[in-house]
Structure 1
């Protein structure tokens, strides 16, 4: 798979993920969050497995691979989507989208710790700027930092869980698309159990959906969750977690636009400032600036070699 195609694919995934925050905000206002998430993830997992079966890529997995899938599913599916559903129900779509913009920074920090990537000055500066941007976001809410929204905390926990899962996916020996399908199915079963415990009437709330709501549900489950996670995880195995995560800086941008245009949520100057800090932090923290500097040095070295050969 060519890098240019992967880059275009990642941009498309970010559009879907950014707008998915708005879609989830609409859905959790009508359905119980955990029950809804369990059904959405199960639908996505079945779509991925059906897709792989259709192209002849649905294969058996070994016991060791099943353990890798199960452990990654606890973070990528259960923890991430559980906290995301709870968080979106308790904060605005704008705030949720901006906090989700921390995924690249958290992934870069975890890659430093668990994959041995060198913690350059730009990466450390990026991590600091990204977290500072989130401070701007939550400070602009009701009550400021003294009354931090529990929804913002839940969304950050979802970010942390997803960052951990990217490291696991990079280390896994299972093909990314196959791993995604089984992770979604296994994770959804755990989410159904959580739903029965936390939301006794959660499944019954799903009976009250209208046709427009179920259309939004299918778009979220199939496009954003099934196809989005399948191809993103494949990009992680091709490019690595840090480089793939660079593109997630587009996620809060599309989340902002979706929440503003579709839900009418206002965008404050503080939130815009926070967004800018997060974007700059992503570029630094995920290694974007390191790559630019490395290319510049290589170009200077080639130019110097040409001059020396004259």
Structure 2
């Protein structure tokens, strides 16, 4: 029993690590001067490169997918590419707080999709927890929302990017029931990177000639928000349902705004800092009192993923 509780706490700790990791994404994007489609493309290709040392172990599974799995992988990868393209593009047009706060809609979209696709059920405490976190998210971004200039366009891009990542997560819940975390992530990242490569080719964006600092930023994006963020969240789908995992995005406005204040000099009011506490409390309530608890996967499963147990649904 102690071991099970310890493993459950480890899952929550990894969940928190994922939240911190994805919060760095907006900062790295702001530091880069390259086109966002190029940033996203190399972010994902470099992630695949970092995963190559482990590929031999999963070679048989990765090449024995059926038509349905390939179709869902392609769809999930294209949705992830759209998310990066749209959301990262929004960071060039609006503030980090405004862009990330719109991502707070992701759990609602995924919850609605889970109810429709997986017949998920929710309880009162889950709704209360989500509501508290959403109110906090709105408070963080409220002071930065604008209807003039490029801000509105940036907010719209962020919204479309949120819809895309919600579709990506729901497709992932379908796929992760019969596919290891490694195989799923590798192919999804590869499809998304190739999709962005085609887009860059059509747009005539340069594939080379970037300064060493730019390549450093691309690598940081691959390691921090992708490996320790997106990969980790996809891995957690074997322990949590997509709605619960997506609640992590509600913590992103908190840490992204703090990082933007420290590293980019963006303003952060007392109201926004207080709202951050509400967000984290709401996420805690959702997970603590939700019907879904972290499920213990087989002992041989690990962070680079053997075939996991079927993900639970709310």
Q: Which structure is higher in helix share?
A: 1
TM-score where L is the length of structure 1: 0.78
Correspondence 1:83 to 2:86 = yes
Aligned-partner Cα distance in 1 for 2:150–2:130 = 24
Correspondence 1:108 to 2:104 = no
Report matched runs for 1:232-271 at 5 Å: 232-269=233-270, 271=272
Deviations 1:75-130 (A, max 9, x none): 2x222111112111211223233333443333233222222112434444555555
How much does 1:133 deviate?
A: 4.8
Report matched runs for 1:136-151 at 5 Å: 136-141=139-144, 143=146, 149-151=152-154
Residue 180 of structure 1 contacts residue 233 of structure 1 at CA under 8 Å; is this kept in 2?
yes
Correspondence 1:213 to 2:214 = yes
Name the structure 1 match of 2:164.
161
Q: SS of the counterpart of 1:58? A: helix
Report matched runs for 1:30-45 at 5 Å: 30-45=33-48
Name the structure 1 match of 2:27.
22
Correspondence 1:175 to 2:180 = yes
Name the structure 2 match of 1:308.
none
Q: Which has the larger radius of gyration?
A: 1
Deviations 1:135-183 (A, max 9, x none): 5455422646999622122122222222222221111122222111111
Correspondence 1:67 to 2:71 = yes
Residue 137 of structure 2 contacts residue 275 of structure 2 at CA under 8 Å; is this kept in 1?
yes
Report matched runs for 1:225-304 at 5 Å: 225-269=226-270, 271-272=272-273, 275=276, 278-279=279-280, 282-283=283-284, 286=286, 288-291=288-291
Q: SS of the counterpart of 2:237? A: helix
Q: SS of the counterpart of 1:189? A: helix
| 1:125–1:148 Cα change, 3 Å | farther
Calculate the aligned-residue CA RMSD, in Å.
3.0
Residue 13 of structure 1 contacts residue 228 of structure 1 at CA under 8 Å; is this kept in 2?
yes
Residue 81 of structure 2 contacts residue 193 of structure 2 at CA under 8 Å; is this kept in 1?
yes
Residue 45 of structure 1 contacts residue 226 of structure 1 at CA under 8 Å; is this kept in 2?
no
Deviations 1:40-96 (A, max 9, x none): 222222323x14326x12332323222221121122x22211111211121122323
Name the structure 2 match of 1:8.
13
Residue 133 of structure 2 contacts residue 280 of structure 2 at CA under 8 Å; is this kept in 1?
yes
Residue 123 of structure 2 contacts residue 291 of structure 2 at CA under 8 Å; is this kept in 1?
no
